[in-house]
């Protein structure tokens, strides 16, 4: 005669089974996040490539602003119009994810950007982004943070690219500068992943069954997710030491956040900046 198992043992077996199932599901989420982060890293390279290709063409188109000894500081309205025109007419810049285009003098003092309200004019961009000191010589990128109170989403970082605007004699008459913040860029990456996941769900006939997912940019200083990311998830990712874990290549693992099992995957994006990458957090 088979004796029934004690209630306590049945409960333990059920909990163990559930725990095993959660771990297996989290591992599957991590594997899927691995595919997601590969596609996301490729998109980062594409986005940076658009700026790298477009900025030289944009700088060439702006050369009239400094031709024959002209001083663009004497016509800031004309500078803004020229920046807007360049963004419309240079194909790569038209699709670039930049949040601004600005003209600075050769020392890096901002003259005017293309935004309606310009809070950048007069600021020393080289002091904020030291890498721009090399922009008089050619295309240059760097990171830093524009001054001002932190956003409600938390600390952020800005990526910039600069290119010299040359005079006919080859000297640098101005600098064309563009860029974006990491949190803004993470939102773009999150939306791109959303589009891909929606397409995959539609192809599989499983619309409405999207996973919970978040995308963030990371570096040695922190993690910068899209604005819709819960703080608890951002903090959990900050504790993972993503820079160290991706030192030798892409990395994936499982993690539990507020009793929910997630998988995550991270990869470096050297085209954006050194010791910088993207991470996808996912729960299916």
pLDDT, tens only, 255-271: 999 999 999 999 999 99
Quote the pLDDT of residue 150: 75
Quote the pLDDT of residue 153: 83
Burial of 220 (0-12, 13-18, 19+ CB in 10 A): exposed
Which of 3.40.630, 3.30.450, 3.30.310, 1.10.490 would CATH assign to domain 21-45+184-283?
A: 3.30.450
Q: Is the pLDDT of residue 13 over 70?
A: no
**pTM recorded for the entire structure:** 0.89
Q: Is the pLDDT of residue 5 over 60?
A: no
Intervals of CATH 3.30.450.20 along the chain: 50-180
Asked whether the beta carbons of 267 and 34 are under 8 A apart, the reply is no
What value does the mean pLDDT take over residues 158-174? 97
- Choice between 228 and 162, residue whose per-residue pLDDT is larger: 162
- Residue 67's CB is within 10 A of a number of other CB atoms, namely 13
Half-sphere exposure for 137 (CA within 13 Å, toward CB): 6
Instruction: Go through the chain and tell me how many residues it has.
Output: 284
Q: What is the mean pLDDT of the chain?
A: 91
Q: How far apart are CA 266 and CA 219, in angstroms?
A: 11
Q: How far apart are CA 162 and CA 131, in angstroms?
A: 9
Maximum Cα–Cα distance across the chain:
104
Q: Is the pLDDT of residue 193 over 60?
A: yes
Quote the pLDDT of residue 21: 55
Q: What percent of the chain has pLDDT over 90?
A: 83
- Residue 221's CB is within 10 A of a number of other CB atoms, namely 14
Q: How far apart are CA 206 and CA 208, in angstroms?
A: 6
Q: How far apart are CA 247 and CA 145, in angstroms?
A: 24
Please calculate the CA angle 62-68-111 and round it to the nearest 5 degrees.
45
Q: What is the CA radius of gyration of the chain?
A: 24
Identify each DSSP E strand in the chain by its residue range: 100-104, 110-113, 140-144, 158-166, 172-181, 212-219, 222-225, 251-257, 260-268, 277-283
Quote the pLDDT of residue 255: 96
Q: In degrees to the nearest 10, what's the CA dihedral of 62, 67, 71, 73? A: -10
Which of 3.90.45.10, 3.40.50.2030, 3.60.21.10, 3.30.450.20 would CATH assign to domain 50-180?
A: 3.30.450.20
Q: How far apart are CA 69 and CA 73, in angstroms?
A: 12
Quote the pLDDT of residue 256: 96
- SS3 for 125? helix
Quote the pLDDT of residue 205: 82
Range with lowest mean pLDDT among 6-10, 31-35, 212-216 = 6-10
């Amino acid at each position: 005669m088979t004796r029934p198992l004690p209630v306590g043992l049945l409960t333990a077996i059920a909990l163990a089974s559930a725990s095993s199932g959660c771990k297996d599901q989290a591992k599957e989420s991590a594997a899927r996040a691995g595919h997601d982060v590969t596609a996301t890293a490729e998109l980062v390279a594409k986005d940076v490539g658009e700026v790298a290709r477009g900025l030289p063409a944009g700088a060439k188109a702006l050369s009239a602003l400094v031709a024959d000894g002209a001083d663009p500081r004497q016509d800031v309205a004309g500078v803004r119009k020229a920046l807007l025109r360049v963004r419309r007419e240079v194909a790569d810049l038209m699709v670039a994810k930049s949040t601004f285009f600005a003209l600075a003098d050769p020392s890096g003092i901002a003259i005017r950007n293309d935004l309606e309200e310009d809070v950048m004019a007069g600021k020393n961009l080289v002091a904020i982004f030291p890498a721009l000191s090399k922009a008089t010589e050619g295309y240059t990128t760097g990171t830093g943070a524009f001054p001002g109170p932190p956003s409600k989403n938390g600390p952020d970082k800005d990526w910039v690219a600069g290119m010299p605007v040359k005079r006919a004699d080859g000297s640098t008459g101005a600098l064309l500068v563009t860029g974006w913040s990491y949190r803004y860029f993470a939102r773009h990456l999150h939306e791109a992943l959303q589009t891909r996941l929606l397409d995959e769900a539609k192809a599989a006939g499983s619309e409405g069954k999207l996973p919970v997912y978040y995308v963030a940019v990371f570096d040695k200083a922190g993690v910068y997710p899209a604005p819709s990311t819960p703080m608890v998830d951002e903090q959990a990712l900050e504790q993972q030491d993503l820079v160290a874990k991706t030192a030798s290549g892409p990395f994936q693992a499982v993690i539990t956040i507020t009793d929910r099992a997630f998988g995550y995957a991270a990869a470096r994006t050297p085209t954006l900046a050194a010791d910088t990458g993207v991470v996808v957090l996912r729960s299916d």
